[in-house]
Amino acid sequence: MITRGTSHLSNQYDYIKALKDDCDISWLIQHRRGYNKMPRGNFLEDLDVKMVDSFDPKKHDVVILHLDQQCLEESLYDRGKGSLYRELNEVIQGVPKIVCMHGTPYYPEKMNDIELITKAREVIGSNIMVCNSRMARLQWAYGLEGAKMVKKGAKDVENLGVPIDNIFAIHHGMDATMFKDLPKEPRVITMINPGGLDKYYDRTFLRAVKELLAERNIVHCHITVDARFKDFEEYSTFIGRSLLYFNPTKESCMPRARTEAMLSGVCVLTTPWQDADEIIEHGKNGFIIPREPEKVADLIEHLILDYKTAIAIGQNGKETAKKLFTYERFREQWLEVFMESINRFYAKK
């Protein structure tokens, strides 16, 4: 059973589609803003997912719940979108539960990282947690600085957050055939949410680069702000016709739109965080950029003028994405987590 707690419908579309031949999936609608069909159409119907209005321990072997860092802020956990997780986690008993954590412990507007990971440890309890990047896995266990230390090889960092053995990292998987590699227009695109989590997405950096590009008469489109689409077909066509993708995010873990751009043959410029530096080889299949707006604007202008290089690097990025972000790998990792959660749950009984 999949429950709704946050609005990551595209992510859910992919693991439902990847797992539909292996799992009998039910969908429990709990999102108080309702079910939005725009990201992937009416995929519940298309993928033959059963919609249910209650949990039945006799019919469901595993339950997937959802959280992000905003859900952990006190007012949202008590009365807002975090309360959906809290209520469901209390009511659903008798089966293993997996928590999809869609964010990282970076929400400086409200809480510091240690407060976030401590709260996560409390509310997740013995549930297994799945993160979208390997760095996010370390951060939810050790905090932001602790994760850097562990990544460098430190062995004595205290596990203040969710127990590290209870956290799994699964990079998203996608159906590459859904994305179009079309003739490219000299356009730069970015897709992040229109509001909220300003420091997490680093909107200050985005605005600075966008203003510099405007001064140079280079078109930049912030999807969700400058452009909205009636359906996925229109969205995928727009991305497929774009030359460059600029990813400004500071702590967003494995942004989906960046991967969608790569699968569309778009040349990607991205900050190095949240495993991006493990995927992008600078100047080969994309560009790793510093948080320096002038340098980023200079690189974008150069690539607009050197169209052939941008196209070639975009093609290399496409091959990287097709190799790394497959449904096959995604499916295998999710099935492993399902079996691990079931085995652990019943071993305790």
The residues spanned by each domain of the chain are: 2-173+327-347, 176-324
How far apart CA 91 and CA 29 sit, in angstroms, is 15
Evaluate whether 294 touches 264 at the Cβ level (below 8 Å).
no
**Crossing angle, helix 256-263 and helix 307-324, to 10 degrees?**
110
Q: For 119-122, which contacts have Cβ atoms below 8 Å and span 24 or more sequence positions?
A: 119/72, 119/77, 120/67, 120/72, 120/161, 120/162, 121/160, 121/161, 121/162, 121/163
Residue 128 has pLDDT above 70, yes or no: yes
Any idea which residue has 């494995």 for tokens?
254
CATH class in words for 176-324: alpha beta
Count of Cβ atoms closer than 10 Å to residue 58 Cβ: 6
- Joined together, the tokens standing for residue 43 give 């995929």
Evaluate whether 337 touches 130 at the Cβ level (below 8 Å).
yes
CATH architecture of the domain formed by 2-173+327-347? 3-Layer(aba) Sandwich (3.40)
Question: Per residue in 29-61, pLDDT tens?
Answer: 655 454 455 556 677 788 888 888 888 888 889
Count helices and strands in the chain by DSSP H and E runs: 14, 12
**For the chain, first and last CA: distance in Å?**
22
Confidence at 6, pLDDT banded by 50, 70, 90: very low
Residue in 13, 23, 4 with CA at minimum distance from that of residue 337: 23
Question: Per residue in 296-310, pLDDT tens?
Answer: 999 999 999 999 999
- pLDDT computed for residue 131 by the predictor: 96
* Half-sphere exposure (Cβ direction) of 210: Cα atoms closer than 13 Å: 17
Mean pLDDT of 97-112: 96
Helix (H) or strand (E) holding 298: helix 293-305
- pLDDT computed for residue 58 by the predictor: 86
Contacts of 29 (CB under 8 A, 6+ apart): 4, 35, 51, 53
Helix (H, G, I), strand (E, B) or coil at 141: helix
Question: Per residue in 151-196, pLDDT tens?
Answer: 999 999 999 999 999 999 999 999 999 999 999 999 999 999 888 8
- Least confident range from 36-50, 197-211, 251-265, 285-299: namely 36-50
2-173+327-347 matches 176-324 in fold? yes
Considering only residues 22 and 30, tell me which one the structure prediction assigns the higher pLDDT.
Answer: 22
pTM of the model: 0.94
Mean pLDDT of 326-349: 94
Evaluate whether 265 touches 242 at the Cβ level (below 8 Å).
no
In the chain, the percentage of residues whose pLDDT exceeds 90 is: 78
- pLDDT computed for residue 38 by the predictor: 56
Count of Cβ atoms closer than 10 Å to residue 236 Cβ: 18
- pLDDT computed for residue 5 by the predictor: 45
